[in-house]
Amino acid sequence: MKLAIGILGCLLAAILSGCSATHYEGPVFSHPTTLGEGKEWRNYPVVEDLDGDGRLDLVATHRRPLHENSMHIWLGGGDGQFQELPQTWHSPGYSGVGAGDLNGDGQIDLVAGSHFNRIHTYLSRDLGMFTESVMPSPDGYVNANIKDLNGDGIPEIIMLGNERAGIEIFEPGGDQGIIPKSHMLEGNIGRDIRIVDMNKDGLPDIVASFGRIGVMVLLQTAAGTWTAVPAEGLKSETSEFRSLDVGDVNNDGWPDLALNGGFAGLFKPNGPDVYLSNGEKGGWSPALTGLKHFKRPAEGVALADFDGDGNLDLIAGGNPSEDTNNKAYGLFLFRGDGRGHWELIEDSGLPKSGLPRPYGIVARDLNGDSHPDLVVAHGAPEEGDGFVRVWLNAAPKVKR
């Protein structure tokens, strides 16, 4: 009886506290591997199984040194280790890269939306060998995705423009590269993009963050047209957010927004932002408790269940110091309780300072143990400071 009361008491305490009744033993991350040292990595790394061996591979592009081939491909060994492929392809310049099968031959192809106003298409012939085409464009790009949006079996190419292109959708054009299909939100500065079914109608939608106008949700209609809905109620002094991820943070079945790079002000607490979907009634509710630990904002955000308790956690780049130098940045793990509350984890295993500015964070299971690992692209204003770093998830013990 005493035991039953004890268990009931624990349950009641867990319900009343409204937070996770779990305790975890860190660190979460260990054994970092550093790739591509001495370059200024930009945009978002791509983690996909390029060669179809069931192991995730890696594509990233660097900005400086400008004279070197910017696009690097590493094949994954399935153990968190990566082997770089010799560069047999032409450089796209630093680019937003997307991966997918453009021509239906079962091989994974690449599209690189270059910062330098062109789109490179790389049709995969054999491991690391591509048939290339290049198309000039009026704007540069920050992100590219290859995804079948309308379910007809033919992928679309979704590009996010750098300064004014907005969102452009293309379709594959065989050896000719890609053909324009639709164009939305022209004149806006693109930051980040995700393709997720936001309104649960079975059709993938587009969520994108922009300079000045914040976050836009583009809902796909059954006719294949798009309805743009601004995400209202998101707070940032500069009206913009940089990096974006989407996931169901509070387990209500509706995808929520995680953002980083929003700015509250110089002497105000900064940090990543999470907004919970209000579901069918529309709109967003802030879930910021526990997130504001930085002095200055940074890019890079990823949602995944890093500690294995069933609730999404968040990793963000940030600067917790007054320091503005190139290596004042760190990576921070916030545990989520499944209700929209966050707890900064001190012993995550990730450095809290000493890192060059993170630009892109991708969470995927690289070594097949079902725990999400990390790929982080770091850039720096000075040439020679950046790298791509892979962190393996050490599968922390979570106790209830």
Residues interacting with Ca ion, by CB under 5 A?
197, 199, 201, 203, 205, 248, 250, 252, 254, 256, 305, 307, 309, 311, 313, 365, 367, 369, 371, 373, 393
CB of 181 to Ca ion, least distance (A): 18
Q: How far is the CB of 107 from Ca ion (least distance, A)?
A: 26
Name the minimum Å distance from CB 287 to Ca ion: 9
Which residues, 6 or more positions from 298, have their beta carbon under 8 angstroms from its beta carbon? Answer: 260, 261, 316, 317, 318, 319, 329, 357, 358
Listed in order, strand segments (DSSP E) in 77-212 are 82-84, 95-100, 109-114, 118-126, 129-136, 141-147, 156-161, 167-172, 178-184, 189-196, 205-211
By beta-carbon proximity to Ca ion, the closer residue of 232 and 323 is: 232
Amino acid at the residue 31? H
Task: Return phi, psi of residue 2, to 5°.
Answer: -55, -40
Residue 400 CB partners (closer than 8 Å, separation 6+): 21, 22
Please identify, using beta-carbon distances, which residue of 165 and 215 lies nearer to Ca ion: 215
Task: State the nearest-atom distance from the C-beta of 11 to Ca ion, in Å.
Answer: 20
Q: Which is nearer to Ca ion, 165 or 195 (CB)?
A: 195
Residue number with CB closer to Ca ion (132 or 365): 365
CB-nearer residue toward Ca ion: 359 or 391: 391
Nearer to Ca ion, 254 or 263 (CB): 254
At 287 the three-state DSSP class reads coil
CB of 348 to Ca ion, least distance (A): 12
183 pairs with which residues across the strands? 168
Kindly state the smallest distance separating residue 255's Cβ from Ca ion, in Å. 6
Structure token pair of residue 265: 């002000």
Q: What is the C-alpha separation between 204 and 147, in angstroms, rounded? A: 9
Are 299 and 360 a contacting pair, CB within 8 Å? Answer: yes
